[in-house]
Structure 1
């Protein structure tokens, strides 16, 4: 039996051939492709009105396909394929201040009441098990739903029309044609945009005034002032007089006003701006008839901040702007600081905030509702601080839980109230940083004692030095085991006893550089020399001994040669030992005697600091001449040391001759060959030694670099 179909509606287009048709499974869209002209027509499935005609110039359209649960549609052409998005991603949902949520599921209006969940345990981010109530169907297909500020009425807008219902029973209160609908801060006032040039203002459901903005009207925004978007930017108008308050060169997507009308957030494609409205400046400008230009009053707004984030939806709670961004984060902005509340797993839209429960509610396009805890006491405290109402802030502070105090302290710090932040914060790390910034050494010392952190002791030592508290600085450097810092402190204070103790302590823990320098600063060259030997820094020890402890030069050279022989025997032989080549070390005996002379002066004790002006600077002294003068005066007698204590004293050398009874290695060889001479020319000997060194065949691959551990601390 043939199937008989009734024609309900005939959709006409300028073509006699339709290639394919597709009806979206969930949205009221019907698409048809026309074979001849390569266009795609979109009709509204309920009103049968032609909504749009698409032509991408890719020749003929062969297929159209929709994706369930999404607004995406795929179009297949001869020359390629395209994916388009129809309608709005944001669901038609709205919540009033009491927790009643109204949404549209297709053309059906449904309601849920959060008060019914008073006894239910709510966890952050979990879907709420709401009891949904059907309120009836709407005569138009809802694209947006919004409550007025007091929650008594709700408006449904779509298909170029709007209908105002009572929120409780969904009774029709008013209707009309509109492309957009916005509420004023006054619950009885609203505006509609009929087309691209006309905006109408209504009060108590009666038209009060209609006007045509100078540059047209591509979009309107409600709130404390009426916002109109046009090709020239965003213009704010006074609701009562419709006078231009300020025109801003910006193309916004959303405009959000705070409850008191002092703050406004203007969101664009990739950023949002926080502005402060100056009512007094606007009033004075109107009264004085000054400062009013074709773009309005320049001083009407002050820019408080700019954030490079794309806002999806948002609302104000006090002076805190809560919003969701393009990367699915739930944040709030207050006083220049951005605080992340949660990371969302999908795109969510802010519905509202219930202060009694201190919870923020969000919905998704599947009409699921979730919530997150956001303490009202924290928001109230931050709002009071922003308004410089510290009396109110002090009253609110005790109601803030301890786990939230550190977050509040970071906010206070960013606002410049570091002392208050220190009093509020419960995080030891944060408190210590604040103490350093405030110069509070007492509190910082208590925190450092509790933490026993080397880094904290060093930071506190720097602070103590900056404040001239040397006793505290010494304690901190000692606890931090900062021997270099202690040495700096001790030398700056000329504290010889402290330097002596530091030398012993540093040597015990292997801080050899500090130990060497401390002993050297004390004038104890022999002990400083022993530190070099103990760390096997034989080259440094040899050169140090040559300058400061000449009696130990031969000992250091012997050790150096032994160590170097392990790497290269020939290189070790190139080193001249003063015992073997005394002629290469002229004045060595005088240096040894001078060493003994200076040592006796050192043992005589240190002079008081008051004698400093009378002391001859080192660069002006000649120790050898001083020794000779003292020796001639009989105040100094050179004593020959025992063999184990120092190098034995040698007889004074005659110029140009080696000492009697002492021969060099080369002369020993000559004695063995029967060529012994009583007199050796000094210049000739030096030339022979240089020639011997030049004739040494040193391997190029020999590693002459001394052991690295000799050049650094253990």
Structure 2
């Protein structure tokens, strides 16, 4: 079994005696021999929190996420509970009269179990103030491990140094039965098989073995030998067909849970291995050692699946093969993203652990690749058609020809399931191939480049210098997407140009090692990495590493939706007008994308207006706005205006096309702040095209007094400007009202406005320049204001013409003469107000 193993976290610490993953947060909890507990972020490797639990070793820790707690058992006989968010100690009590070796938390009930060196197991109910609700007796040595049965959480198993494993019921203090698990030593660990199909237990013992038991028949199914010291733990992986064991010999071993064969041995030079934790919903495994901890990711998160063009889906769960037909699912009316209720049936099984599944183009055959082998099955009956050595596989478009990567440097081609005669592929060999990809041409990825060969002649069609991760060919055979870490490149292949070149050089054998560059053109470049992709004609649908679903037509990208978690593209079913995706657990969801939309966009990009006009009536009404946005991006605003049904989009297009009457019609139908913004936008546009009457109407409708002032000034409308000043005062826009009065030359009204708004000092300075007769009264008001604020010295220093100061005399007489010339003789009252 070729499992990819990636180390995610490596941290040195004091001896780790217990370890646990948080089910939802990226946290890892460790219990240490030095008496503390620590929480790591296993994604970043950062140590987040440290809790000083006890002065003696902490041998067991577990999260209780529904309460935001973790619980710890230690050698001072105490059970302690902490809130991991607030660091508060929730509870602490003596649970046993001896060391607490192990504990486990019930999956749903408010119960946890503790096992101790006092040879008893106790059940504690935290909803009943940590009352001991049951004591389980019967073991004759230290209790080493406890595990609930996932098939029946009312039962659990215990592992003990008395060499037995006992099965218990929560409601009874005596065991249901015992297994003499290891004759030559104690039992250190017990774990239930997580699947529904096997009544199996896993045990790890002092006799250096791992054993699998059928607890119904009480018989030993398998014994795994390989460790050179006592085995501390052994667990079934919940998602992969493996068993993970760790020993005091310092190694972690990976076993095949189907064949019980040793697959891999891992050593991290951290001395003895003590404890293990599996992360739910992921392939992460954490192991605690004498000198620290390690978190590894095993296998891939991506599911293994393939869907043919008709909607027949085949996927695997470990080595079991299941099938479902999405074409029969009636989810046309389902909202986007809603889960599709699949009705899977078991198709069979495969002899290898699959890393990829590939349908032949006609859907008749399915190839499973894994463990360095490939097997071709018939899609309907799941019968073995062909098999052999191979780490990668690729179908040609005729479904009768395929290529296999036997070794890193050897590619073999087959036709009709027989070795194809002829020499090797030109230019192959001498460099390591990382993967093969099928389609109109055979593609091989290598370090630093991707190379395309002709299926018939084996000649090089093109060598492209790019660090490719995947290659996707369109069904039409002239477009290919090459995915790299830096981005995705879409190229167009012209077969006719290639054939002309081959003819001109006297045959395919004379084509150079770089192929025919002129037969290839770059159509588009996407600046993001694509994870999965499919072609629908000339439309490329894809999901990205940033959890986004989109599609590409020509050089134009369109976003369909975003995801919270990674999704993987299954394919497109035209009859449903839907794209189907699945998550890593093969939960399938659909998203609407009308085929007519794709066909219309393709016709527009090709410049085929006649075809586009014929397709447009078939585009669903709920997709018209998407089409209109696409047309706008292509510079076809007039056509977009005729297509869109979105009033806001239609308004924006009308403004861009200077169709102000059309925009005005839309604005009259909108009320509130949104309507005001539309009137304002039309007014601004009307000014730019010299339609002053329309601009005035729009600014009045939007209440944009500032724009109206500028408009009235430009057109010289004094009466309108005077009315605007009154309207601005009524709205409290005093600065605008003052500006209007100033433009009208009404100095007296300006002064009175400054006084009404408590701007006396500014009024005095303004009057000194524009209305000298009002200065004495305003200065007096200014002095009075300062005196009331306790600033008498400053008030006394302010001069006034009434002071008969020589400094003001000459200038004052000239200012009064100028005022009388402009406004007439000084008045004592104006509208009853003194001046």
Alignment CA distance shift 1:428-1:125 (3 Å): closer
What RMSD over aligned residues (CA atoms) do the two structures have, in Å?
3.9
Give 1:230 deviation, angstroms.
1.3
Q: How does 1:92-111 map to 2 (within 5 A)?
A: 92-111=304-323
Give 1:123 deviation, angstroms.
5.4
Q: How does 1:270-285 map to 2 (within 5 A)?
A: 271-279=487-495, 282=498
Distance (Å, rounded) in 2 between the aligned partners of 1:465 and 1:374? 42
Give 1:65 deviation, angstroms.
6.7
**Structure 1: stretches of 5+ with no match in the other structure:** 601-639, 647-714
Q: Paired residue for 2:656, among 422, 426, 437?
A: 437
Is it true that 1:390 corresponds to 2:390 in the alignment? no
Distance (Å, rounded) in 2 between the aligned partners of 1:420 and 1:477? 30
Distance (Å, rounded) in 1 between the aligned partners of 2:720 and 2:511? 74
2:365 alignment partner in structure 1: 153
Q: How does 1:38-437 map to 2 (within 5 A)?
A: 42=254, 44=256, 51-59=263-271, 61=273, 71-118=283-330, 122=334, 124-208=336-420, 210-211=424-425, 212-269=428-485, 271-279=487-495, 282=498, 294-298=513-517, 300-302=520-522, 304-309=524-529, 311-326=530-545, 328-334=547-553, 335-341=555-561, 343=563, 346-437=565-656
Alignment CA distance shift 1:269-1:73 (3 Å): farther
Distance (Å, rounded) in 2 between the aligned partners of 1:588 and 1:161? 108
Q: How many residues align?
A: 603
Is it true that 1:480 corresponds to 2:480 in the alignment? no
Give 1:388 deviation, angstroms.
3.4
Deviates more, 1:326-335 or 1:164-173: 326-335
Is the contact made by 2:327 and 2:573 (CA closer than 8 Å) also made in structure 1? Answer: no
Alignment CA distance shift 1:185-1:22 (3 Å): farther
Give 1:194 deviation, angstroms.
0.5
What secondary structure sits across from 1:224 in the alignment? coil
What secondary structure sits across from 2:669 in the alignment? helix
Q: Deviations over 1:448-498 (max 9, x none)?
A: 322243322332222122222222222222223223222222223334444
Q: Deviations over 1:657-708 (max 9, x none)?
A: xxxxxxxxxxxxxxxxxxxxxxxxxxxxxxxxxxxxxxxxxxxxxxxxxxxx
Distance (Å, rounded) in 2 between the aligned partners of 1:90 and 1:558? 85
What secondary structure sits across from 1:579 in the alignment? helix
* TM norm structure 2: 0.64
2:94 alignment partner in structure 1: none
Distance (Å, rounded) in 2 between the aligned partners of 1:274 and 1:133? 38
Q: How does 1:552-701 map to 2 (within 5 A)?
A: 552-567=774-789, 568-581=791-804, 583=806, 584-599=808-823, 643-644=828-829
Distance (Å, rounded) in 2 between the aligned partners of 1:179 and 1:154? 16
Q: Deviations over 1:330-388 (max 9, x none)?
A: 444454434143535x5443222111012222334444444333333333333333333
Is the contact made by 1:18 and 1:32 (CA closer than 8 Å) also made in structure 2? Answer: no
Greater strand content: 2
Q: Deviations over 1:17-76 (max 9, x none)?
A: 68578574564435666877x555545555777654544344455667766875444445
Deviates more, 1:493-502 or 1:441-450: 493-502
Q: Deviations over 1:271-292 (max 9, x none)?
A: 5444444556655665666998
1:551 alignment partner in structure 2: 773
Give 1:217 deviation, angstroms.
0.9
Alignment CA distance shift 1:418-1:55 (3 Å): farther
Distance (Å, rounded) in 2 between the aligned partners of 1:61 and 1:642? 104
What secondary structure sits across from 2:433 in the alignment? coil
Alignment CA distance shift 1:448-1:135 (3 Å): closer
Q: Which has the larger radius of gyration?
A: 1
Alignment CA distance shift 1:18-1:511 (3 Å): closer
Q: Deviations over 1:524-577 (max 9, x none)?
A: 434444443443433333333332333333233233333333223343333233
1:455 alignment partner in structure 2: 677
Distance (Å, rounded) in 1 between the aligned partners of 2:503 and 2:784? 99
Distance (Å, rounded) in 2 between the aligned partners of 1:228 and 1:415? 36
